[in-house]
A and B are shown apart, each in its own frame.
Chain A
Amino acid sequence: MARIGVFVCHCGENISATVDCGKVAETIGKLKHVAYSTDYKYMCSDPGQTIIKDAIKEHNLTGVVVSACSPRMHEPTFRKACAEGGLNPFLCEMANLREHCSWVHEKNDLTTEKAIDIVRSQVEKVKLNSALQPIKVPVTRTALVIGGGIAGIQSALDIANCGHKVVMVERSPSIGGHMSQLSETFPTLDCSQCILTPRMVEVAQHPNITLYTYAEIESVEGFIGNFKVKIRKKAKSLDEKICTGCGLCTTKCPQKKIPNEFEQGMGMRPAIYIPFPQAVPNRPVIDREHCTYYIKGKCKVCEIVCPTKAIRFDQPDEILELEIGAIVVSTGFDIKHADFFPEYGYGKYKDIIDGLQFERLASASGPTTGAILRPSDGQVPKNIVFIACAGSRDPAKGIAYCSKICCMYTAKHAMLYKHKVHEGKAHVFYMDIRSGGKNYDEFVRRAIEEDHVNYIRGRVSTIYERDGKLIVKGVDTLLGAQPVEIVADMVVLATAGIASSGAEELAQKLHVSYDSHKFFAEAHPKLKPVETNTAGIFLAGACQNPKDIPDTVSQASGAAVKVAALFSQSELTREPLVAAVNRSGPPMYSTCVGCFLCQSVCPYQAIEREDFKTRDGKIIKTVAKINEGLCQGCGTCVALCRSKSIDLQGYSNNQVYAEVVALLNEY
């Protein structure tokens, strides 16, 4: 005979503001098989959990329904409390009175009625629950880090230093990411490359890290602790073991007119190239899309000049299959380019550049070796305008969010310009200055007060060219909305940070969620900012949203700790909410008839065959069997099974019918 305990939570006022919790507890308490029913302000708190534990013992409960928030929030909390009270944790169910009722309805009797109905349905379900045991699965102690920017580098080093193996995959020919393109960094103006390149080298030399550059993720299967990952190593068209990285091929390549990605298109590179002098690994790759040999079938100059004969024109892409325990996604971001802005000429003016292009201009390793020269004619700009929020915080442009880094790097850009061009004038158009962070606001004040950068609060409506100058028309909203017109030599747009190209595709391969801007989504905005909704996959850096370097590094270390914690166990426990094919004694063995329709629809290849044999080895019957390690509990096989031989543990057909019947019937 079932003895169910029902615990109605007020969730502070989240539920009790619209639902009469006392009435819910009282009404449910009168139902058949409900042995105990009560309400409390915070059921998840320590005293709240104690109420549950005590009631289990006192009333000898056989099942518990906690009527509170979403199971996504606190199901683990309450199942643990039940276990501590001596009840199998899977005999605890949650009725979601917050998201499904109190938050979405007004305060009235109907709302309370609906709450009662929701609880009733769970009471009926929990009566049919059975005690389940967690599934144990082994852990492969190798982490995969996708993306070799500063986020990936930090995560990989932290995990590797904990003594675990790390595989790093980077799609471009070198690691380093956007940070390697930056000139100086705010708020200290220390050189970006100087602090980054030693770490890049450390990654390459670390005994626990295997680095695959020019490689991409082909597919990801499996689950936490047991991912199977296919990696496509794109053909670099040379033998890396023989190549010494002398670079002779890159100087002799006749094709030299390819826009250089590392220089943000402000310089050219050959078809066989090393992205930048400090690249890791410092070996060239052939860009087959632009290489004369691959286009016209002849050239092979690089092969002729190579002193070690390392060029391999016929090298195929290689597919690697790896066993991985945890994944850190650190694929970074891109920025909108100037051609996104019709009001600024759709990118047709050469001297309107974006922030990353300015970084390259200001960088000692850049196309001008650090001199601020305008792209059109190589002259030093005497008057320069910086526009913050170019695209960001602009719903009309489809980007409502703040890109976070632009206020700071714009101040830095203006400062760098003033340090290099003393007599020049720098103007910044801004909406607000968002300089939250250690020593950040001081940095902006320094730009304004010490370097005399002219900050104008207002937006720029249009920029056009006239007699070789750029006319910037804006407004100064602090001077009674006066129109401002600046005749500039160069304009720098702090364009919005956006998700990296291919982010959506990768998210789908990884089965992790992403937002409408294609940024990867965290499991909880406050309490699980590093986790994704898929167990064992973590986030680091700007692939989640635009971030500066300190935030990125902190999060990357956070992700590394999550991986290390996972790897500290020899096996993992998984919730046993998986499918099961029924079994019975001979001669039936199971109601399964062995049609294996389930096998053809299972998205996780979790259905195996099991033979029942006589003592002399003759097969009597072959039936389906679920691999509990692979099954994700999606229930597709249950829906398809023609003999109703499969059930989802914890969500059996009978349990769901009981819920529905309870909702349909009066009580």
Chain B
Amino acid sequence: MKFGIYPGCSLTGSARDYNESVFALAEAFGLEFTQVPDWNCCGATAAHNLNKELSLALPARILALAEKNGLEEIIVPCAACYSRLVVTRHELKKDPELKNRISEVIEMDYRGTSKILNVIEWIDKYITPKLDEKLVKPFNYKVACYYGCLLVRPNKVLGYDRAEDPQTMDIVMRKIGAETIDYPSKTECCGAGLSISRTDIVSKLSGKIIEDAEHRGADAIIVACPMCHSNLDMRRPDINKYWKTDFKIPVLFVTQAIGLAIGLSPEKVGLKRHFVEVKIS
């Protein structure tokens, strides 16, 4: 079966580490991706604040391209892209008239047949079944899985995991030997796109998440979203300045943690690109 990948802007830019770890995992498990050809921006946070039609047309074009190229499943590692794609599929499914209009806008036939997987769903489906045989270095650390907002919300649209106390990432992490902590900041806001315009707010909000994880004795924070990662990792100097702290807890993508557990090198999964030093290897 052919499955596609939609990288979006971050995986080719600010989250190259995430991209590298996803591809490294795929390679290790003998999986092959086809990039959605001629893909465009998903619209991110900007489009749906400005123009509803545009915010649906952009993801619809990506999905239509995937369908046209026979990609039955596409993995969308970025949580924001994932959210936009799933919301679009949902909106167009419940309103056939809108679907026809959007098809006209993108000048392509959109049917909504490609399945959209977030990174955890992809791991559950293709990695987990063969994980035991590949596990060489159990990830023996105490971790705080941080889900953020877009991976599990809006719950009615995604129908994925529990919105208030999600578990799927914890389950995956426990499978590679980690101890996951129960903490209340799992889905608290990291500040998201305010990273650029109001770094102080991101410092405040992300700082609270990091403090909570450290306070409960976590060795690492595990994420599945480039935005979460950059706020918790890249903004760490701002956070420490804001809170007058010295938080050193590293932030890893779930794919990096799995990569390490199956014996891939830190370089291979992109750990060297982090701002906060990762002493885990």
* B171 CB → nearest A CB, Å: 16
Residues of B within 8 Å of A369, CB to CB, are none
* B219 CB → nearest A CB, Å: 19
Within 8 A of A (CB), among B160-215: 162-165, 182-184, 212, 215
B184 touches A462 (CB 8 A): yes
Tell me if A657 is interfacial: C-beta within 8 Å of chain B: no
B184 touches A342 (CB 8 A): no
Type the 1/0 row for A465-478, where 1 means its CB is closer than 8 Å to any CB of B. 11000010000000
B184 touches A346 (CB 8 A): no
Type the 1/0 row for A103-115, where 1 means its CB is closer than 8 Å to any CB of B. 0000000000000
Residues of A within 8 Å of B182, CB to CB, are 348
* A465-B215 Cα distance, complex, nearest whole Å: 12
* A6-B184 Cα distance, complex, nearest whole Å: 71
Tell me if A218 is interfacial: C-beta within 8 Å of chain B: no
CB nearest to A471 among chain B residues: B184
A464 touches B184 (CB 8 A): yes
CB nearest to B184 among chain A residues: A464
Type the 1/0 row for B146-158, where 1 means its CB is closer than 8 Å to any CB of A. 0000000000000
* A471 CB → nearest B CB, Å: 8
CB nearest to A462 among chain B residues: B184
* A207 CB → nearest B CB, Å: 56
Residues of B within 8 Å of A345, CB to CB, are 165
* A342-B164 Cα distance, complex, nearest whole Å: 6
* B184 CB → nearest A CB, Å: 3
* A342-B163 Cα distance, complex, nearest whole Å: 8
Contact of A343 among B164, B212, B215 (CB under 8 A): B164
* A345-B184 Cα distance, complex, nearest whole Å: 9
* A345-B165 Cα distance, complex, nearest whole Å: 8
* A342 CB → nearest B CB, Å: 3
* A573-B129 Cα distance, complex, nearest whole Å: 72
* A345-B183 Cα distance, complex, nearest whole Å: 10
CB nearest to A467 among chain B residues: B215
* A579 CB → nearest B CB, Å: 48
Contact of A342 among B162, B212, B215 (CB under 8 A): B162
**CB-based A-B contact count at 8 angstroms:** 18
* A342-B165 Cα distance, complex, nearest whole Å: 7
Residues of B within 8 Å of A342, CB to CB, are 162-165
Residues of B within 8 Å of A464, CB to CB, are 183-184
Type the 1/0 row for A329-361, where 1 means its CB is closer than 8 Å to any CB of B. 000000000000011011010000000000000
Residues of B within 8 Å of A462, CB to CB, are 164, 184
* A348-B165 Cα distance, complex, nearest whole Å: 11
Type the 1/0 row for A581-623, where 1 means its CB is closer than 8 Å to any CB of B. 0000000000000000000000000000000000000000000
* A346-B186 Cα distance, complex, nearest whole Å: 15
Residues of A within 8 Å of B165, CB to CB, are 342, 345-346
Type the 1/0 row for A352-392, where 1 means its CB is closer than 8 Å to any CB of B. 00000000000000000000000000000000000000000
Most buried by B among A346, A464, A471: A464
* A465-B212 Cα distance, complex, nearest whole Å: 11
* A343-B166 Cα distance, complex, nearest whole Å: 11
CB nearest to A341 among chain B residues: B164
Within 8 A of A (CB), among B94-141: none
Residues of A within 8 Å of B162, CB to CB, are 342
Residues of A within 8 Å of B212, CB to CB, are 466
* A99-B229 Cα distance, complex, nearest whole Å: 60
* B157 CB → nearest A CB, Å: 14
* A462-B208 Cα distance, complex, nearest whole Å: 15
Residues of B within 8 Å of A465, CB to CB, are 184
Within 8 A of B (CB), among A296-354: 342-343, 345-346, 348
CB nearest to A348 among chain B residues: B182
* A343-B164 Cα distance, complex, nearest whole Å: 6
Residues of B within 8 Å of A466, CB to CB, are 184, 212, 215
Within 8 A of B (CB), among A457-491: 462, 464-466, 471
CB nearest to B163 among chain A residues: A342
* A177 CB → nearest B CB, Å: 33
* B63 CB → nearest A CB, Å: 29
* A265-B74 Cα distance, complex, nearest whole Å: 48
* A346-B163 Cα distance, complex, nearest whole Å: 12
* A342-B162 Cα distance, complex, nearest whole Å: 8
* B151 CB → nearest A CB, Å: 16
Within 8 A of A (CB), among B2-23: none
* A388 CB → nearest B CB, Å: 20
Residues of A within 8 Å of B215, CB to CB, are 466
Within 8 A of A (CB), among B219-247: none
* A263-B162 Cα distance, complex, nearest whole Å: 31
Within 8 A of B (CB), among A496-523: none
CB nearest to B187 among chain A residues: A462
CB nearest to B165 among chain A residues: A342
Residues of B within 8 Å of A471, CB to CB, are 184
* A541 CB → nearest B CB, Å: 34
* A614 CB → nearest B CB, Å: 74
Most buried by A among B165, B182, B184: B184
* A346-B165 Cα distance, complex, nearest whole Å: 9
* A376-B51 Cα distance, complex, nearest whole Å: 52
* A486 CB → nearest B CB, Å: 15
* B216 CB → nearest A CB, Å: 8
* A26 CB → nearest B CB, Å: 46
* A465-B162 Cα distance, complex, nearest whole Å: 19
* B222 CB → nearest A CB, Å: 19
Residues of A within 8 Å of B184, CB to CB, are 462, 464-466, 471
Most buried by B among A348, A466, A471: A466
* B116 CB → nearest A CB, Å: 25
* A326-B174 Cα distance, complex, nearest whole Å: 60
* A346-B126 Cα distance, complex, nearest whole Å: 31
* A464-B184 Cα distance, complex, nearest whole Å: 6
* B146 CB → nearest A CB, Å: 15
* A466-B183 Cα distance, complex, nearest whole Å: 9
Type the 1/0 row for A152-163, where 1 means its CB is closer than 8 Å to any CB of B. 000000000000
* A471-B212 Cα distance, complex, nearest whole Å: 13
Residues of A within 8 Å of B183, CB to CB, are 464
* A464-B181 Cα distance, complex, nearest whole Å: 13
Residues of B within 8 Å of A348, CB to CB, are 182
CB nearest to A343 among chain B residues: B164
* A465-B164 Cα distance, complex, nearest whole Å: 15
CB nearest to A342 among chain B residues: B164
* A510 CB → nearest B CB, Å: 36
* A462-B162 Cα distance, complex, nearest whole Å: 15
* A342-B186 Cα distance, complex, nearest whole Å: 13
* A43-B247 Cα distance, complex, nearest whole Å: 81
* A348-B164 Cα distance, complex, nearest whole Å: 13
Residues of B within 8 Å of A343, CB to CB, are 164
* A343-B182 Cα distance, complex, nearest whole Å: 14
Residues of A within 8 Å of B164, CB to CB, are 342-343, 346, 462
* A395-B105 Cα distance, complex, nearest whole Å: 37
* A465-B184 Cα distance, complex, nearest whole Å: 8
* A466-B163 Cα distance, complex, nearest whole Å: 21
CB nearest to A464 among chain B residues: B184
* A462-B187 Cα distance, complex, nearest whole Å: 11
* A132-B182 Cα distance, complex, nearest whole Å: 74
* A464-B183 Cα distance, complex, nearest whole Å: 8
CB nearest to A465 among chain B residues: B184
* B117 CB → nearest A CB, Å: 24
* A246 CB → nearest B CB, Å: 47
**Given A466-B184, A471-B184, 16 further pairs, Cβ under 8 A:** A342-B162, A342-B163, A342-B164, A342-B165, A343-B164, A345-B165, A346-B164, A346-B165, A348-B182, A462-B164, A462-B184, A464-B183, A464-B184, A465-B184, A466-B212, A466-B215
A-B contact list, 18 entries, CB within 8 Å: A342-B162, A342-B163, A342-B164, A342-B165, A343-B164, A345-B165, A346-B164, A346-B165, A348-B182, A462-B164, A462-B184, A464-B183, A464-B184, A465-B184, A466-B184, A466-B212, A466-B215, A471-B184
The 9 closest A-B pairs by CB, nearest first: A464-B184, A342-B164, A343-B164, A342-B165, A342-B162, A346-B165, A462-B184, A342-B163, A466-B215
